[in-house]
Amino acid sequence: MSEKAYRVGVVGAGMVGDRLVAGLEERHFPLEELRIMATSARKQEMAGRQRDVIAASPEAFDGLDIALFAGTEGESGASVRFGWQAADKGVFVVDNGGDFRMDARVPLVVPEVNAEAMRRHSGFVANPNCSTVQMVMVLAPLHGAASLRRVVVSTYQAVGGTGRSGVQALAEQRKAAAHGGPMDLGPYPHAIYDNVIPQVGGLNEHFPGYYSEEVKMIRETRKILGRPDLPITATCVRVPVANGHSEAINAEFERQLSAEEAREILSRFPGVVVVDDPAASRYPLAADAGGQDAVFVGRIREDPSSPNALDMWCVSDNLLKGAALNAVQIAEKAVEMGLI
């Protein structure tokens, strides 16, 4: 890491914002100043202590070197309102939201996979969707060895991916079920307690029948891997787990790749941990991934229906590598590459 210290802004004071602050401090990012912004000024506990939070505005970015946006999306979201204005001021912007991921000006980056894409930045870099990040961490090294032909993925996504409202909904519905009371659905179209919901996001007009999370996984994976025509399909499901996304991945390659070779390749890739002893019931679990930086992969096995395909089970903390950690790593890598 550079000996220079940087003035860093964190935009957003929710769950991801909290983890961004914690990540910067825990990883000893060289901070000259840490400026936290939200919709309104207040004092708030973040990363274990009370912090001053200022109201986000164009002027609030003056003098910053880096701004990490936590990811509120849409026209009212901070990155749409302030992101490009900050970049025009010379601030290096890392956006965790989805508004600009597919923008041709914006590199979409997982540092272990495609850090070189940042050399083409225009002051603005996007953090991929949480479910995309953990999948490409597993696919990229295998793609480098055997070239992907097709990907089929089904996700089992924690309520923490919806933010505090999702976590609160699950907790309150659990209490309501225990006492026989009415259930507030919270941010979901159905109760999430004791249920699985095959809908994450809204329907996408360009992909009939697909919800937005599924489309994100398709389009973002293609962009990150530099394969715009890669055949890929996704089914994204919300499950009653507080934190930690799980994915069942079927990947077909141009050549046969044995499970043993895949384990060896993945075990050498930075940020990936192989947990794969099915005889002993050892495989990645969402309950074990919480608070861990790594992406965990197991149940690696050869698909008997296709000679060149593998099945895998992948788990990661969606708030860390799926969001805040990856954003901090982008900033770290940009410093290392001399881009800031």
Pick from 33, 27, 44: nearest CA to 5: 33
Res 76: pLDDT: 64
Q: Give 277's strand partners.
A: 282
Q: How do beta strands 309-316 and 245-253 pair?
A: antiparallel
Q: Which positions are annotated as active-site residues? A: 130, 245
Q: Averaged in consecutive runs of 10 residues, what is the pLDDT profile of the chain (340 residues)?
A: 87 94 97 96 94 96 97 76 96 96 97 97 96 98 98 98 94 94 95 98 95 98 98 98 97 98 98 98 96 97 97 97 97 96
CATH class, 6-128+323-336 region: alpha beta
Name residue 253's beta-bridge partners. 148
pLDDT of residue 181: 87
**Other Cβ atoms within 10 Å of 49 Cβ, number:** 8
Position 283, amino acid: Y
User: How many residues are present in the chain?
Assistant: 340
Instruction: Locate CATH 3.30.360.10 in the chain.
Output: 132-318
Q: Report the candidate in 26, 48, 17 with the shortest Cα–Cα distance to residue 35.
A: 17
Spatial distance between the Cα atoms of 129 and 134, rounded to a whole number of angstroms: 9
Query: For the CA atoms of 123, 71, 241, 243, what is the dihedral angle to 10 degrees?
Result: 50
Q: How far is the CA of 74 from the CAs of 71, 130, 265, 322, in angstroms?
A: 10, 17, 39, 20
pLDDT (tens digit per residue) in 198-217:
999 999 999 999 999 999 99
Query: Residue 16: in which H helix or E strand, if any?
Result: helix 15-26
State the pTM of this model. 0.95
In angstroms, rounded to a whole number, what is the distance separating the alpha carbons of residues 167 and 161?
9
Say what the pLDDT of residue 114 is.
98
Alpha-carbon distance of 116 to 130, in angstroms, equals 20
End-to-end CA distance of the chain: 12
* CATH of the structural domain 132-318, one choice from 3.40.470.10, 3.30.360.10, 3.90.1150.10, 3.40.50.620: 3.30.360.10
What is the per-residue pLDDT for 74? 66
